[in-house]
A and B are shown apart, each in its own frame.
Chain A
Amino acid sequence: MKYLDEYRDPQAAGRLVEAIHKITTRPWSIMEVCGGQTHTIVRYGIDELIPSGIRLIHGPGCPVCVTPLELVDRAVEIALRPDVIFCSFGDMLRVPGSQGDLFSASARGGDVRVVYSPLDCLSLAERNPDRTVVFFAVGFETTAPANAMAVVQARRRGLTNFSVLVSHVLVPPAIAAILSSPENRVQGFLAAGHVNVVMGYEEYQRLAEQFRIPIVVTGFEPLDLLEGVYRLVLMLEEGRIGVENQYVRAVHSAGNVRCQDLIHEVFETTDRKWRGIGTIPASGYRLQQKYSDMDAEQRFGVQLQTVVECADCISGLILQGIRKPHECAAFGSRCTPEHPLGATMVSSEGACAAWYNYRRLRIPTAVGAEE
Protein backbone atom coordinates (compact mmCIF):
# COMPACT_ATOMS: atom_id res chain seq x y z
CA MET A 1 0.00 0.00 0.00
CA LYS A 2 2.76 2.34 -1.01
CA TYR A 3 0.38 5.03 -2.25
CA LEU A 4 -1.56 5.54 0.97
CA ASP A 5 0.87 7.98 2.55
CA GLU A 6 0.13 10.39 -0.31
CA TYR A 7 -3.54 10.60 0.64
CA ARG A 8 -4.89 13.59 2.54
CA ASP A 9 -6.17 11.16 5.16
CA PRO A 10 -4.18 7.91 4.82
CA GLN A 11 -6.10 6.20 7.62
CA ALA A 12 -9.47 6.84 6.02
CA ALA A 13 -8.07 5.65 2.68
CA GLY A 14 -6.72 2.50 4.35
CA ARG A 15 -10.09 1.78 5.93
CA LEU A 16 -11.86 2.14 2.59
CA VAL A 17 -9.33 -0.10 0.82
CA GLU A 18 -9.76 -2.71 3.55
CA ALA A 19 -13.55 -2.48 3.31
CA ILE A 20 -13.47 -2.94 -0.47
CA HIS A 21 -11.34 -6.08 -0.07
CA LYS A 22 -13.73 -7.38 2.57
CA ILE A 23 -16.91 -7.09 0.49
CA THR A 24 -15.48 -8.28 -2.82
CA THR A 25 -16.25 -11.94 -3.54
CA ARG A 26 -15.89 -12.05 -7.34
CA PRO A 27 -14.51 -10.03 -10.29
CA TRP A 28 -16.28 -6.86 -11.40
CA SER A 29 -15.71 -4.42 -14.25
CA ILE A 30 -16.34 -0.79 -13.37
CA MET A 31 -16.02 2.25 -15.61
CA GLU A 32 -15.09 5.70 -14.32
CA VAL A 33 -16.67 8.13 -16.77
CA CYS A 34 -14.65 11.27 -16.14
CA GLY A 35 -11.13 11.93 -17.39
CA GLY A 36 -10.40 13.81 -14.17
CA GLN A 37 -11.23 10.64 -12.26
CA THR A 38 -8.92 8.63 -14.55
CA HIS A 39 -6.15 11.10 -13.80
CA THR A 40 -6.66 10.62 -10.04
CA ILE A 41 -6.92 6.82 -10.28
CA VAL A 42 -3.65 6.49 -12.17
CA ARG A 43 -1.84 9.16 -10.14
CA TYR A 44 -2.82 7.61 -6.78
CA GLY A 45 -2.66 3.99 -7.91
CA ILE A 46 -6.25 3.33 -6.86
CA ASP A 47 -6.54 0.49 -9.36
CA GLU A 48 -3.57 -1.17 -7.65
CA LEU A 49 -4.90 -0.75 -4.11
CA ILE A 50 -8.24 -2.45 -4.71
CA PRO A 51 -8.66 -6.20 -5.27
CA SER A 52 -7.12 -7.35 -8.55
CA GLY A 53 -10.46 -8.79 -9.63
CA ILE A 54 -11.99 -5.32 -9.78
CA ARG A 55 -11.14 -3.92 -13.18
CA LEU A 56 -11.34 -0.14 -13.50
CA ILE A 57 -12.01 0.73 -17.13
CA HIS A 58 -11.18 4.28 -18.19
CA GLY A 59 -14.20 5.81 -19.89
CA PRO A 60 -14.61 8.37 -22.67
CA GLY A 61 -15.13 11.36 -20.38
CA CYS A 62 -12.38 13.56 -21.74
CA PRO A 63 -13.89 16.13 -24.11
CA VAL A 64 -10.53 16.93 -25.67
CA CYS A 65 -10.06 13.24 -26.45
CA VAL A 66 -13.43 12.62 -28.10
CA THR A 67 -13.63 15.75 -30.27
CA PRO A 68 -13.60 14.29 -33.79
CA LEU A 69 -10.60 14.68 -36.03
CA GLU A 70 -12.74 16.33 -38.69
CA LEU A 71 -13.77 19.07 -36.27
CA VAL A 72 -10.16 19.74 -35.30
CA ASP A 73 -9.43 20.09 -39.03
CA ARG A 74 -12.35 22.45 -39.35
CA ALA A 75 -11.09 24.49 -36.39
CA VAL A 76 -7.65 24.76 -38.01
CA GLU A 77 -9.23 25.80 -41.31
CA ILE A 78 -11.23 28.57 -39.64
CA ALA A 79 -8.27 29.66 -37.49
CA LEU A 80 -6.16 30.22 -40.62
CA ARG A 81 -8.58 32.80 -42.01
CA PRO A 82 -7.09 36.30 -41.76
CA ASP A 83 -10.40 37.78 -40.68
CA VAL A 84 -10.71 35.45 -37.66
CA ILE A 85 -9.55 35.46 -34.06
CA PHE A 86 -9.87 31.82 -33.00
CA CYS A 87 -10.36 31.21 -29.27
CA SER A 88 -10.17 27.94 -27.40
CA PHE A 89 -9.51 26.34 -24.05
CA GLY A 90 -5.79 25.57 -23.79
CA ASP A 91 -6.19 21.79 -23.84
CA MET A 92 -7.46 21.81 -27.42
CA LEU A 93 -4.45 23.50 -28.97
CA ARG A 94 -2.26 20.44 -29.24
CA VAL A 95 -4.90 17.97 -30.38
CA PRO A 96 -3.63 16.63 -33.69
CA GLY A 97 -5.93 16.91 -36.67
CA SER A 98 -5.06 15.42 -40.03
CA GLN A 99 -3.54 18.74 -41.13
CA GLY A 100 -1.81 19.73 -37.90
CA ASP A 101 -3.08 21.23 -34.67
CA LEU A 102 -4.16 24.72 -33.63
CA PHE A 103 -0.60 25.56 -32.59
CA SER A 104 0.54 24.84 -36.12
CA ALA A 105 -2.28 27.10 -37.35
CA SER A 106 -0.79 29.80 -35.15
CA ALA A 107 2.68 29.15 -36.61
CA ARG A 108 1.17 29.49 -40.10
CA GLY A 109 -0.19 32.94 -39.26
CA GLY A 110 -3.53 32.18 -37.66
CA ASP A 111 -4.56 34.32 -34.71
CA VAL A 112 -5.19 31.64 -32.06
CA ARG A 113 -5.86 32.54 -28.44
CA VAL A 114 -6.36 30.63 -25.21
CA VAL A 115 -9.20 32.00 -23.14
CA TYR A 116 -10.20 31.28 -19.57
CA SER A 117 -13.88 31.63 -20.33
CA PRO A 118 -16.03 31.85 -23.46
CA LEU A 119 -17.33 35.11 -21.97
CA ASP A 120 -13.84 36.59 -22.51
CA CYS A 121 -14.47 36.23 -26.25
CA LEU A 122 -17.24 38.81 -26.11
CA SER A 123 -14.99 41.67 -25.06
CA LEU A 124 -12.46 40.53 -27.68
CA ALA A 125 -15.24 40.77 -30.29
CA GLU A 126 -16.16 44.25 -29.08
CA ARG A 127 -12.54 45.41 -29.32
CA ASN A 128 -12.11 43.90 -32.82
CA PRO A 129 -15.23 44.86 -34.76
CA ASP A 130 -13.57 44.24 -38.16
CA ARG A 131 -12.79 40.60 -37.35
CA THR A 132 -14.85 37.59 -36.35
CA VAL A 133 -14.15 35.96 -33.00
CA VAL A 134 -14.80 32.21 -33.10
CA PHE A 135 -14.92 30.12 -29.93
CA PHE A 136 -14.28 26.37 -30.03
CA ALA A 137 -17.16 25.21 -27.80
CA VAL A 138 -16.11 21.74 -26.68
CA GLY A 139 -16.96 20.00 -23.45
CA PHE A 140 -19.45 17.93 -21.52
CA GLU A 141 -22.49 19.23 -19.68
CA THR A 142 -20.28 21.02 -17.13
CA THR A 143 -19.03 23.42 -19.79
CA ALA A 144 -22.34 23.92 -21.58
CA PRO A 145 -23.78 26.64 -19.28
CA ALA A 146 -20.74 28.90 -19.76
CA ASN A 147 -20.83 28.42 -23.51
CA ALA A 148 -24.59 28.98 -23.60
CA MET A 149 -24.23 32.19 -21.62
CA ALA A 150 -21.66 33.49 -24.11
CA VAL A 151 -24.17 32.95 -26.93
CA VAL A 152 -27.03 34.59 -25.01
CA GLN A 153 -24.86 37.55 -24.08
CA ALA A 154 -23.52 37.98 -27.61
CA ARG A 155 -27.12 38.29 -28.82
CA ARG A 156 -28.04 40.64 -25.97
CA ARG A 157 -25.01 42.83 -26.63
CA GLY A 158 -25.72 42.93 -30.37
CA LEU A 159 -22.41 41.33 -31.34
CA THR A 160 -22.57 40.15 -34.93
CA ASN A 161 -18.87 39.22 -35.13
CA PHE A 162 -18.99 36.34 -32.62
CA SER A 163 -19.66 32.70 -33.46
CA VAL A 164 -19.10 29.27 -31.95
CA LEU A 165 -17.80 26.02 -33.37
CA VAL A 166 -19.83 23.58 -31.30
CA SER A 167 -18.68 20.09 -30.36
CA HIS A 168 -20.55 19.42 -27.14
CA VAL A 169 -20.95 15.87 -25.89
CA LEU A 170 -23.24 14.34 -23.27
CA VAL A 171 -22.56 11.62 -20.71
CA PRO A 172 -25.82 9.59 -20.51
CA PRO A 173 -25.98 8.69 -24.24
CA ALA A 174 -22.34 7.59 -24.07
CA ILE A 175 -23.13 5.32 -21.11
CA ALA A 176 -26.10 3.90 -23.06
CA ALA A 177 -23.90 3.33 -26.13
CA ILE A 178 -21.25 1.52 -24.10
CA LEU A 179 -23.85 -0.69 -22.43
CA SER A 180 -25.48 -1.46 -25.79
CA SER A 181 -22.23 -2.57 -27.41
CA PRO A 182 -21.89 -6.33 -27.96
CA GLU A 183 -18.34 -6.02 -26.61
CA ASN A 184 -19.45 -4.35 -23.40
CA ARG A 185 -17.97 -5.66 -20.18
CA VAL A 186 -18.90 -2.77 -17.90
CA GLN A 187 -21.16 -3.77 -15.00
CA GLY A 188 -21.36 -0.49 -13.11
CA PHE A 189 -20.41 3.18 -13.50
CA LEU A 190 -18.80 5.88 -11.41
CA ALA A 191 -20.58 8.94 -12.80
CA ALA A 192 -18.71 12.24 -13.22
CA GLY A 193 -19.45 14.41 -10.19
CA HIS A 194 -19.08 17.84 -11.75
CA VAL A 195 -21.31 16.93 -14.69
CA ASN A 196 -23.93 15.97 -12.12
CA VAL A 197 -23.49 19.27 -10.27
CA VAL A 198 -25.06 20.83 -13.36
CA MET A 199 -27.41 18.09 -14.58
CA GLY A 200 -28.33 16.23 -11.39
CA TYR A 201 -28.83 12.48 -11.66
CA GLU A 202 -32.50 11.84 -12.34
CA GLU A 203 -31.69 10.81 -15.92
CA TYR A 204 -29.15 8.33 -14.55
CA GLN A 205 -31.91 6.65 -12.57
CA ARG A 206 -33.68 5.88 -15.85
CA LEU A 207 -30.43 4.55 -17.34
CA ALA A 208 -29.86 2.34 -14.32
CA GLU A 209 -33.34 0.87 -14.61
CA GLN A 210 -33.19 0.44 -18.38
CA PHE A 211 -29.86 -1.41 -18.32
CA ARG A 212 -30.29 -2.88 -14.82
CA ILE A 213 -26.98 -1.58 -13.51
CA PRO A 214 -25.75 0.37 -10.48
CA ILE A 215 -24.33 3.88 -10.86
CA VAL A 216 -22.60 5.91 -8.15
CA VAL A 217 -22.23 9.67 -8.65
CA THR A 218 -18.65 10.20 -7.52
CA GLY A 219 -16.23 13.05 -6.91
CA PHE A 220 -12.71 13.11 -8.27
CA GLU A 221 -10.48 13.20 -5.20
CA PRO A 222 -8.78 9.96 -4.13
CA LEU A 223 -11.05 9.38 -1.11
CA ASP A 224 -14.13 10.12 -3.23
CA LEU A 225 -13.07 7.49 -5.74
CA LEU A 226 -12.32 4.87 -3.09
CA GLU A 227 -15.71 5.50 -1.51
CA GLY A 228 -17.37 5.43 -4.95
CA VAL A 229 -15.75 2.08 -5.71
CA TYR A 230 -16.79 0.74 -2.30
CA ARG A 231 -20.43 1.74 -2.79
CA LEU A 232 -20.53 0.46 -6.36
CA VAL A 233 -18.97 -2.91 -5.47
CA LEU A 234 -21.43 -3.23 -2.58
CA MET A 235 -24.35 -2.60 -4.96
CA LEU A 236 -22.93 -5.13 -7.42
CA GLU A 237 -22.36 -7.75 -4.73
CA GLU A 238 -25.88 -7.27 -3.38
CA GLY A 239 -27.41 -7.28 -6.87
CA ARG A 240 -28.87 -3.78 -6.48
CA ILE A 241 -29.61 -1.51 -9.41
CA GLY A 242 -30.14 2.25 -9.16
CA VAL A 243 -28.18 5.42 -8.45
CA GLU A 244 -26.38 6.42 -5.28
CA ASN A 245 -24.74 9.77 -4.66
CA GLN A 246 -21.30 9.68 -3.08
CA TYR A 247 -20.66 13.34 -3.93
CA VAL A 248 -23.34 14.89 -1.71
CA ARG A 249 -21.03 17.80 -0.92
CA ALA A 250 -21.73 19.28 -4.35
CA VAL A 251 -24.41 17.25 -6.15
CA HIS A 252 -28.19 17.34 -5.69
CA SER A 253 -30.56 15.03 -7.54
CA ALA A 254 -32.10 17.86 -9.58
CA GLY A 255 -28.75 19.55 -10.34
CA ASN A 256 -28.56 23.29 -11.02
CA VAL A 257 -31.88 24.05 -12.71
CA ARG A 258 -30.82 27.55 -13.76
CA CYS A 259 -27.85 26.07 -15.61
CA GLN A 260 -30.13 23.53 -17.30
CA ASP A 261 -32.58 26.26 -18.37
CA LEU A 262 -29.72 28.20 -19.90
CA ILE A 263 -28.46 25.13 -21.78
CA HIS A 264 -31.94 24.41 -23.17
CA GLU A 265 -32.41 28.02 -24.19
CA VAL A 266 -29.38 27.82 -26.49
CA PHE A 267 -28.74 24.18 -27.40
CA GLU A 268 -30.68 21.19 -28.67
CA THR A 269 -29.53 17.59 -28.77
CA THR A 270 -28.04 16.16 -31.95
CA ASP A 271 -26.22 13.06 -33.11
CA ARG A 272 -22.53 13.53 -32.46
CA LYS A 273 -19.44 11.74 -33.69
CA TRP A 274 -17.03 10.77 -30.89
CA ARG A 275 -13.40 10.42 -31.85
CA GLY A 276 -12.36 6.78 -31.81
CA ILE A 277 -15.89 5.58 -31.10
CA GLY A 278 -18.14 6.77 -33.92
CA THR A 279 -21.50 8.48 -34.05
CA ILE A 280 -23.72 8.13 -30.99
CA PRO A 281 -27.38 9.15 -31.44
CA ALA A 282 -28.51 12.27 -29.55
CA SER A 283 -25.16 12.46 -27.75
CA GLY A 284 -24.30 16.09 -28.34
CA TYR A 285 -25.56 19.65 -28.39
CA ARG A 286 -25.87 21.99 -31.35
CA LEU A 287 -27.17 25.55 -31.45
CA GLN A 288 -30.92 25.99 -31.61
CA GLN A 289 -32.17 27.40 -34.92
CA LYS A 290 -32.77 30.82 -33.36
CA TYR A 291 -29.03 31.13 -32.70
CA SER A 292 -27.88 29.64 -36.02
CA ASP A 293 -26.42 33.00 -37.09
CA MET A 294 -23.71 32.31 -34.51
CA ASP A 295 -22.91 28.86 -35.87
CA ALA A 296 -19.31 29.03 -37.17
CA GLU A 297 -19.85 26.00 -39.42
CA GLN A 298 -22.67 27.80 -41.23
CA ARG A 299 -20.94 31.15 -41.23
CA PHE A 300 -17.72 29.90 -42.81
CA GLY A 301 -19.22 27.15 -44.93
CA VAL A 302 -16.43 24.73 -44.15
CA GLN A 303 -17.35 21.19 -45.04
CA LEU A 304 -16.73 18.13 -42.94
CA GLN A 305 -14.44 15.71 -44.71
CA THR A 306 -14.21 12.20 -43.36
CA VAL A 307 -10.62 11.75 -42.29
CA VAL A 308 -8.80 8.53 -41.53
CA GLU A 309 -7.18 8.29 -38.10
CA CYS A 310 -3.50 7.46 -37.73
CA ALA A 311 -3.30 3.68 -38.16
CA ASP A 312 -0.87 3.31 -35.22
CA CYS A 313 -3.27 4.89 -32.72
CA ILE A 314 -5.68 2.68 -30.76
CA SER A 315 -7.31 5.52 -28.82
CA GLY A 316 -10.76 4.36 -29.92
CA LEU A 317 -10.24 1.01 -28.20
CA ILE A 318 -8.85 2.77 -25.14
CA LEU A 319 -11.81 5.18 -24.96
CA GLN A 320 -14.15 2.19 -24.96
CA GLY A 321 -12.15 0.40 -22.28
CA ILE A 322 -11.23 -2.48 -24.60
CA ARG A 323 -7.47 -1.89 -24.40
CA LYS A 324 -5.14 -0.25 -21.86
CA PRO A 325 -2.67 2.46 -22.95
CA HIS A 326 0.45 0.34 -22.42
CA GLU A 327 -0.97 -2.30 -24.74
CA CYS A 328 -0.44 0.09 -27.67
CA ALA A 329 2.75 -0.50 -29.69
CA ALA A 330 3.28 3.25 -30.12
CA PHE A 331 2.81 4.12 -26.43
CA GLY A 332 5.73 6.09 -25.06
CA SER A 333 7.87 5.67 -28.16
CA ARG A 334 6.22 7.07 -31.27
CA CYS A 335 3.43 8.57 -29.16
CA THR A 336 4.22 10.88 -26.24
CA PRO A 337 2.58 14.02 -24.76
CA GLU A 338 5.07 16.11 -26.77
CA HIS A 339 4.27 14.27 -30.01
CA PRO A 340 0.84 12.68 -29.59
CA LEU A 341 -0.59 10.43 -32.29
CA GLY A 342 -4.04 10.56 -30.78
CA ALA A 343 -6.09 12.70 -28.46
CA THR A 344 -5.89 10.38 -25.43
CA MET A 345 -2.21 11.31 -25.21
CA VAL A 346 -2.85 15.05 -25.50
CA SER A 347 -5.03 16.01 -22.59
CA SER A 348 -3.78 15.45 -19.05
CA GLU A 349 -7.18 13.81 -18.51
CA GLY A 350 -6.61 11.36 -21.35
CA ALA A 351 -5.92 7.80 -20.27
CA CYS A 352 -2.69 7.54 -22.32
CA ALA A 353 -1.26 10.79 -20.92
CA ALA A 354 -2.12 9.72 -17.37
CA TRP A 355 -0.34 6.40 -17.87
CA TYR A 356 2.61 8.12 -19.53
CA ASN A 357 2.95 10.64 -16.71
CA TYR A 358 2.66 8.19 -13.82
CA ARG A 359 3.31 4.67 -15.04
CA ARG A 360 5.67 4.64 -18.01
CA LEU A 361 8.82 3.91 -16.02
CA ARG A 362 7.23 0.75 -14.67
CA ILE A 363 6.11 -0.59 -18.03
CA PRO A 364 8.65 -2.96 -19.62
CA THR A 365 8.61 -1.46 -23.11
CA ALA A 366 11.13 0.26 -25.33
CA VAL A 367 10.36 3.56 -23.65
CA GLY A 368 11.18 2.17 -20.24
CA ALA A 369 14.55 1.09 -21.58
CA GLU A 370 15.19 4.56 -23.00
CA GLU A 371 14.61 6.37 -19.72
Chain B
Amino acid sequence: MCLGIPGRVVERFEEHGIQMGKVDFGGIIRRVCLECVPEIEISEYALVHAGFAIARINEDEARQVFAFLETMQELNELQATAEPVRLSHSIPPSQRQE
Protein backbone atom coordinates (compact mmCIF):
# COMPACT_ATOMS: atom_id res chain seq x y z
CA MET B 1 0.00 0.00 0.00
CA CYS B 2 3.03 2.29 0.07
CA LEU B 3 3.49 2.37 -3.68
CA GLY B 4 2.65 5.43 -5.72
CA ILE B 5 0.50 4.97 -8.81
CA PRO B 6 1.26 7.07 -11.90
CA GLY B 7 -1.55 8.96 -13.56
CA ARG B 8 -2.06 11.74 -16.12
CA VAL B 9 -3.35 15.09 -14.91
CA VAL B 10 -6.44 15.96 -16.97
CA GLU B 11 -7.79 18.90 -14.99
CA ARG B 12 -6.55 21.37 -12.39
CA PHE B 13 -8.58 23.50 -10.00
CA GLU B 14 -8.43 25.14 -6.61
CA GLU B 15 -10.69 23.83 -3.87
CA HIS B 16 -10.82 24.96 -0.24
CA GLY B 17 -7.61 26.89 -0.80
CA ILE B 18 -5.49 24.03 -2.16
CA GLN B 19 -4.45 22.84 -5.60
CA MET B 20 -6.49 19.85 -6.70
CA GLY B 21 -6.87 18.01 -9.97
CA LYS B 22 -8.45 15.14 -11.79
CA VAL B 23 -6.00 12.41 -12.69
CA ASP B 24 -6.53 9.61 -15.21
CA PHE B 25 -5.25 6.22 -14.07
CA GLY B 26 -5.70 4.00 -17.13
CA GLY B 27 -9.28 5.19 -17.59
CA ILE B 28 -10.19 5.57 -13.92
CA ILE B 29 -10.47 9.26 -13.04
CA ARG B 30 -9.84 10.27 -9.43
CA ARG B 31 -9.61 13.54 -7.59
CA VAL B 32 -6.05 14.14 -6.44
CA CYS B 33 -4.38 16.79 -4.30
CA LEU B 34 -1.63 18.51 -6.32
CA GLU B 35 -0.48 20.88 -3.59
CA CYS B 36 3.01 19.33 -3.31
CA VAL B 37 3.72 19.22 -7.05
CA PRO B 38 2.81 22.83 -7.93
CA GLU B 39 4.87 22.77 -11.13
CA ILE B 40 2.81 20.02 -12.76
CA GLU B 41 0.74 20.92 -15.79
CA ILE B 42 -2.25 19.37 -17.51
CA SER B 43 -1.26 16.29 -19.57
CA GLU B 44 1.81 15.68 -17.40
CA TYR B 45 2.17 12.64 -15.18
CA ALA B 46 2.14 12.51 -11.40
CA LEU B 47 3.12 9.78 -8.98
CA VAL B 48 0.09 9.60 -6.70
CA HIS B 49 -0.29 7.89 -3.35
CA ALA B 50 -3.60 7.85 -1.45
CA GLY B 51 -5.04 10.62 -3.59
CA PHE B 52 -2.01 12.82 -3.07
CA ALA B 53 0.62 13.59 -5.72
CA ILE B 54 4.16 13.16 -4.38
CA ALA B 55 6.22 13.67 -7.56
CA ARG B 56 6.07 14.63 -11.21
CA ILE B 57 7.44 11.88 -13.47
CA ASN B 58 7.95 11.52 -17.19
CA GLU B 59 5.52 9.73 -19.47
CA ASP B 60 7.72 6.70 -20.23
CA GLU B 61 8.30 6.05 -16.54
CA ALA B 62 4.61 6.52 -15.81
CA ARG B 63 3.51 4.03 -18.47
CA GLN B 64 6.11 1.50 -17.42
CA VAL B 65 5.24 1.68 -13.70
CA PHE B 66 1.50 1.59 -14.37
CA ALA B 67 1.85 -1.53 -16.54
CA PHE B 68 3.95 -3.17 -13.85
CA LEU B 69 1.44 -2.37 -11.10
CA GLU B 70 -1.30 -3.87 -13.29
CA THR B 71 0.73 -7.07 -13.58
CA MET B 72 1.19 -7.17 -9.83
CA GLN B 73 -2.54 -6.48 -9.21
CA GLU B 74 -1.61 -3.45 -7.16
CA LEU B 75 -4.29 -1.09 -8.54
CA ASN B 76 -7.25 -2.19 -6.41
CA GLU B 77 -7.17 0.92 -4.27
CA LEU B 78 -8.35 2.98 -7.25
CA GLN B 79 -11.71 1.20 -6.95
CA ALA B 80 -12.44 2.33 -3.37
CA THR B 81 -15.88 3.95 -3.14
CA ALA B 82 -16.25 5.09 0.50
CA GLU B 83 -19.53 3.15 0.63
CA PRO B 84 -20.17 0.86 3.64
CA VAL B 85 -18.30 -2.43 3.14
CA ARG B 86 -20.14 -5.67 2.57
CA LEU B 87 -18.86 -9.08 3.57
CA SER B 88 -18.94 -10.36 0.01
CA HIS B 89 -15.94 -8.11 -0.54
CA SER B 90 -14.00 -9.65 2.29
CA ILE B 91 -11.26 -11.13 0.13
CA PRO B 92 -9.48 -8.58 -2.03
CA PRO B 93 -9.13 -9.68 -5.67
CA SER B 94 -5.34 -9.54 -5.33
CA GLN B 95 -5.46 -12.36 -2.79
CA ARG B 96 -8.13 -14.55 -4.30
CA GLN B 97 -6.76 -17.88 -5.35
CA GLU B 98 -7.64 -19.43 -8.66
The answer to whether A107 and B87 touch across the interface, beta carbons within 8 angstroms, is yes
Please classify how large the interface on chain B is, using the bins under 10, 10 to 19, 20 to 34, 35 or more.
Answer: 35 or more
Bound form: Cα–Cα A106–B76 in Å: 20
Report A-chain residues with C-beta under 8 Å of the C-beta of B37.
Answer: 256, 258
The answer to whether A250 and B52 touch across the interface, beta carbons within 8 angstroms, is no
B33 at interface (Cβ–Cβ under 8 A)? yes
A270 at interface (Cβ–Cβ under 8 A)? no
B12 at interface (Cβ–Cβ under 8 A)? no
One of A87, A119, A124 near B52 (C-beta < 8 A): A119
Report B-chain residues with C-beta under 8 Å of the C-beta of A143.
Answer: 1-2, 49-50
The answer to whether A117 and B84 touch across the interface, beta carbons within 8 angstroms, is no
The interface of chain B, by Cβ under 8 A from chain A, is 1-4, 16-18, 30-33, 35-38, 47, 49-52, 54-55, 57-58, 61, 64-65, 67-68, 72-74, 76-78, 80-87, 90-92, 94-95, 97
Report A-chain residues with C-beta under 8 Å of the C-beta of B17.
Answer: 156
The answer to whether A348 and B94 touch across the interface, beta carbons within 8 angstroms, is yes
Report A-chain residues with C-beta under 8 Å of the C-beta of B80.
Answer: 89-90, 114-116, 120
A195 at interface (Cβ–Cβ under 8 A)? yes
The answer to whether B50 and A116 touch across the interface, beta carbons within 8 angstroms, is yes
Bound form: Cα–Cα A127–B78 in Å: 22
Indicate with 1 or 0, residue by residue over A66-94, a CB within 8 angstroms of chain B CB atoms: 00000000000000000000010111011
One of B47, B58, B78, B85 near A103 (C-beta < 8 A): B85
Report B-chain residues with C-beta under 8 Å of the C-beta of A115.
Answer: 80, 82
One of B50, B74, B85 near A117 (C-beta < 8 A): B50
Report A-chain residues with C-beta under 8 Å of the C-beta of B31.
Answer: 117, 119
Report A-chain residues with C-beta under 8 Å of the C-beta of B3.
Answer: 36, 142, 194, 220
Nearest Cβ in chain B — how far from A51, in angstroms?
25
- Give A194's nearest chain B residue, CB to CB: B4
Bound form: Cα–Cα A147–B49 in Å: 10
Report A-chain residues with C-beta under 8 Å of the C-beta of B2.
Answer: 34-36, 61, 63, 139-140, 142-143, 192, 194-195, 349
One of B61, B78, B87 near A116 (C-beta < 8 A): B78
Report A-chain residues with C-beta under 8 Å of the C-beta of B54.
Answer: 142, 145, 194, 197-198, 256, 259
A276 at interface (Cβ–Cβ under 8 A)? no
Bound form: Cα–Cα A102–B61 in Å: 36
